[in-house]
Amino acid sequence: MSKKYFGTDGIRGRVGEGVINPEFILKLGWAVGRVFGRTLDDGAVPRVIIGKDTRISGYMFESALEAGLVAAGANVMLIGPMPTPAIAYLTRTFQCTAGIVISASHNPFYDNGIKFFSASGEKLPDEIEHAIEAEIEKPMQMVESAALGKVKRVEDAAGRYIEFCKSTVPTNFSLKGLKVVVDCAHGATYHVAPDVLRELGAEVVAVGADPDGLNINDGVGSTKPQLLSDAVLEHKADIGVAFDGDGDRVLFVDEQGRILDGDALLYIIACDRLRTKGDCSGVVGTLMSNYGFELAMRDMGVPFARAKVGDRYVKEMMQQKGWLLGGESSGHIICSDVTSTGDGVVAALKVFFAVVAGGKKLSELVADLPVYPQVMINVRRERQVDLDADPEIGEAVAATEAELGDQGRVLLRPSGTEPLIRVMVEGRDHSQVEQLASNLAATVERLVR
């Protein structure tokens, strides 16, 4: 059954448009309180923790959610600006019924959204999201005054999360002697990521760490890594690390200013696990993971599988296969042996550990990782076409794959948010890949118009 409000990662949109307004968010908070109240034993009061990133509308939506939850009889804990994975962690450690994040991740300040975590710090199952949507459609009725929820603010949330992050590496681990540039995207990691690295001994140069409510993700962070690359070279740093606005994505820059995406970080972590533990059970990537990365895993003897795009699907496949490592090329990295969701700071520490333990520069750790040229062309779709069943598209894809042989791959997938079909071709030779992608996109365009 399709959902009316929830997407693949909560509810998101432009502030003041659609459902991203105080009235709806108030009702959403009430519905969440009602649904989670029904999951508890008789008489138990649901407890919900709320965190947010640094965008200006977060204050407005925090108040709306708080009022809705209290009206439903739920107790509320407010922790202010904190990374998304910190809310997942604190939901577990405070034994809350649920966690709520007010964030639009890597989007500009004028967007916002609401994401949820279960008591175990994981994304909500579909049945809970359906139940919340069903409750939203009902008239809002508050509980009796004596049963209203209570609200308190958690003062030491940042310190708790910093200590958790540090606990994911050995107690004797040190970054002393490393100069690190940290780009916090003027987002939720601005007051935790630099402190984590400083407390571990690094010399830290912080950029993108002065949020004003409007500058989140504005030319900074993991979606705009050129700033970090320039800063690493300017400060003659050993490493650069960039987070997105809510701190669940991370990218690195090596000492030469070269950008390392999520595939490279997964490769580094997998190699380190093989070196230090003698085993890496398997790695889950996505349909967009580079083919060179897949071949590298194969050569290392590490099982590899592709999930649909989205960290939710990566986590689901990791659970199905019993593997502990997965992620996306965008920088969502999940280390499920230490945390329940994608965590940019934790993933960064795993990479730093590999650098220090291996005694090598970051560039040396990825020297043997092949990166295949990847060309993607967006084709605007004017009519529905079954990409898997259309014979002409099937023939065009088969012909492209035949030319690539076992040295590349083809991917056609519809966009989940726009009327587009994404045509992607990967292979060893860039000019060949460009030509094949152009030819295939032309065929697809002719058939969808």
* Active-site residue, from 105, 222, 229, 329: 105
* Amino acid identity for residue 118 in this structure: S
pLDDT at 386: 83
Instruction: Determine the Cα–Cα distance for residues 242 and 182; give it in Å rounded to an integer.
Output: 6
96: left (phi over 0), alpha (psi -120 to 50) or beta: beta
Identify the residue whose tokens are 């940042």: 158
DSSP readout, 23-34?
HHHHHHHHHHHH
Backbone angles phi, psi at 204, to 5 degrees: -110, 130
pLDDT per position in the chain (449 positions), as tens?
689 999 878 999 999 999 999 999 999 999 999 999 998 887 799 999 999 999 999 999 999 999 999 999 999 999 999 999 999 999 999 999 999 999 999 999 999 999 999 999 999 999 999 999 999 999 999 999 999 999 999 999 999 999 999 999 999 999 999 999 999 999 999 999 999 999 999 999 999 999 999 999 999 999 999 999 999 999 999 999 999 999 999 999 999 999 999 999 999 999 999 999 888 999 999 999 999 999 999 999 999 999 998 888 999 999 999 999 999 999 999 999 999 999 999 999 999 999 999 999 999 999 999 999 999 999 998 888 788 888 999 999 999 999 999 889 999 988 766 788 999 999 999 999 999 999 999 999 998 88
Q: In the beta sheet, which residues pair with residue 10?
A: 7
Tokens at residue 226, please?
Answer: 């050129």
Active site residue 57: no
Identify the residue whose tokens are 């400083």: 198
Instruction: Determine the Cα–Cα distance for residues 51 and 55; give it in Å rounded to an integer.
Output: 12
Q: In the beta sheet, which residues pair with residue 47?
A: 75
Tokens at residue 343, please?
Answer: 């965590």
Q: Strands, E, within 254-300: which ranges?
A: 259-260, 283-286
Exposed/middle/buried for 164, CB within 10 Å: 0-12, 13-18, 19+?
buried
pLDDT at 146: 96
* Structural domains present in the chain: 11-155 (3.40.120.10), 161-365 (3.40.120.10), 374-447 (3.30.310.50)
